[in-house]
Copies of this chain bind each other. A is one copy, B any other.
Amino acid sequence: MLLDELKNIVGPKAWTNDEAALEPHLTEWRGAVRGRTPIMVSPANTDEVAAVVKACAAARVGIVPQGGNTGMCAGAVPDDSGTQVILSLSRLNRIRAINVQDFSLVAEAGCILASIQEAARSAGRYFPLSLGGEGSCQIGGNLATNAGGINVIRYGTARDLALGLEVVLADGAVWNGIRTVRKDTAGYDLKQLFIGSEGTLGIITAAAVKLFPNPGATTTALIALNSADDAVTLLSELRVALADRIEAFELIGSRAFELVRRHIPNTRLPFESPYDWFILVEAAVDPDQEELQNLLLQAARLGTIEDAAIAKSVQEAGQFWRMRHSISAAEKLEGASLKHDISVPTDRINAFLSSGKHRIEERIPDASLVVFGHVGDGNLHYNLHVPTGFQELATQIVYELVAELGGSISAEHGVGVLKKTALLTYKSEQDLNLMRSLKMTLDPLKILNPGKVI
């Protein structure tokens, strides 16, 4: 019997079917989706993961790989059939190697992102992947969803940071693709298949990732402007003037900061007047040399920006960032909202924002918008409060506009369950067929994260 076999593989303390213990693993963290499972197993190492997959494959039972369960699209929770086994990667949490001279690190899938950042820091290096859930999300999940976050503009997404992977395939075989070479054209780059496939083509058990030198002294500034187009212009000018030393360049709409000030204690904007848009920029330039300061003065003279506050200390920079990082929490305190995580080509951000606002106001009464995002990646979190009954229409308006502008309906949150229907609508038949044939090739029994993505 499968359940007994699984219990034997992982040993007495590494499985549970206890309702209370399972609770946080059955529910997507915002509560939008709730599933059931006969058992959650927590293997201790790659061989145990492989044995679990082999047993489930023999029994034709679906497996849901789960990392920190911080995903935004319910990609890590089981469906409500009560048949899918949860495979937690949490105990695969060793950092196998840090190689300072090679600027590389090898970590098991269950390592918390923040602990990898910390391990790199302790070794005098920098791991740039950074996002809201970093205190609980796991590197395996980050790679399985090709996570983005705030530093993509300079360092790329999780995909760009991966040097090698170890993956358990659908038949329980272990594919050893752990290596740290930066150039490798000896055959197809197989790791690319698994990155961003949300556990539907294989289960990532370990990864080799790139490290970087610390960015050194940085200058942080909060900037006020009147249009998102000015933000794109400013970014373009700063990238040129600073030879690309921009670590982050975040757009924040006035309503997002309004919610932060309403719900989060000790937050205030450093400006007297109200403005429509704000930019939080962090540049890898020494604040004492006033490079960013001078460029912003010039931008103000030319009318690209309205006002700017340079952080005078690490503490003040931290306060600016705290406001940015509090947006999601403030939104949650304000009440449920309809979230969209979209991207468009950078130069079309303003077209998206103005047409989007116009179309929504035209067709949906009393809608209110919270917008923030990453200008350099064309990635906007476009969240709406709309009256009951208008949710579907609102999302349709947003996704249709994204499609018109050559963008993506899921920039960094993946597909999971929540965006599966939208994917069927907005991807071409050819894309879907290619995806289906990859799924068929790598997981013919359809036991890996069934019902997700495709």
Contact = CB atoms under 8 A, between A and B. Distances in A.
A347 interface: yes
Nearest to A233: B101
A384 B416 CA distance: 52
Interface residues of A, number: 89
A437 B441 contact: yes
Interface in A395-451: 406-415, 419, 423, 426-428, 430-432, 434-435, 437-438, 440-442
Contacts of A438: 188, 441
B410 A186 contact: yes
A190 B406 contact: no
Interface stretch (A9-17, A58-66, A171-179, A361-369): A171-179
A184 interface: yes
A383 interface: no
Contacts of A430: 173, 175-176
Given A146-B185, A188-B197, A189-B196, 20 more contacts: A99-B345, A100-B236, A101-B233, A101-B347, A146-B189, A152-B182, A152-B183, A175-B430, A179-B406, A181-B377, A181-B411, A182-B343, A183-B408, A186-B426, A188-B453, A188-B454, A189-B192, A192-B192, A192-B193, A214-B240
A237 to B, nearest CB: 10
A376 interface: yes
A195 interface: yes
Interface stretch (A153-161, A317-325, A386-394): A153-161
Contacts of A232: 101
A46 interface: no
Nearest to A343: B181
**Which residue, A157, A192, A201, has most C-beta atoms of chain B within 10 A?**
A192
A236 to B, nearest CB: 5
A145 interface: yes
29 contacts: A101-B233, A101-B346, A102-B347, A103-B236, A145-B185, A157-B182, A157-B183, A175-B430, A179-B406, A181-B344, A181-B345, A181-B377, A181-B406, A181-B407, A182-B377, A183-B379, A183-B412, A184-B411, A188-B438, A189-B192, A189-B195, A189-B196, A192-B192, A212-B239, A215-B244, A243-B245, A243-B284, A245-B245, A437-B442
Interface in A192-206: 192-193, 195-197, 201
A265 interface: no
A58 B437 CA distance: 21
Given A181-B408, A181-B411, A239-B213, A187 B343 contact: no
A220 to B, nearest CB: 16
Closest 10 CB pairs of A and B: A192-B192, A101-B347, A184-B408, A183-B411, A186-B410, A213-B240, A216-B243, A181-B343, A182-B377, A102-B347
A253 interface: no
Nearest to A159: B189
A124 interface: yes
Nearest to A183: B411
Contact of A185 (B160, B413, B434, B442): B413
Contacts of A344: 181
A148 interface: yes
B187 A415 contact: yes
B379 A175 contact: no
A180 interface: yes
A378 B183 contact: yes
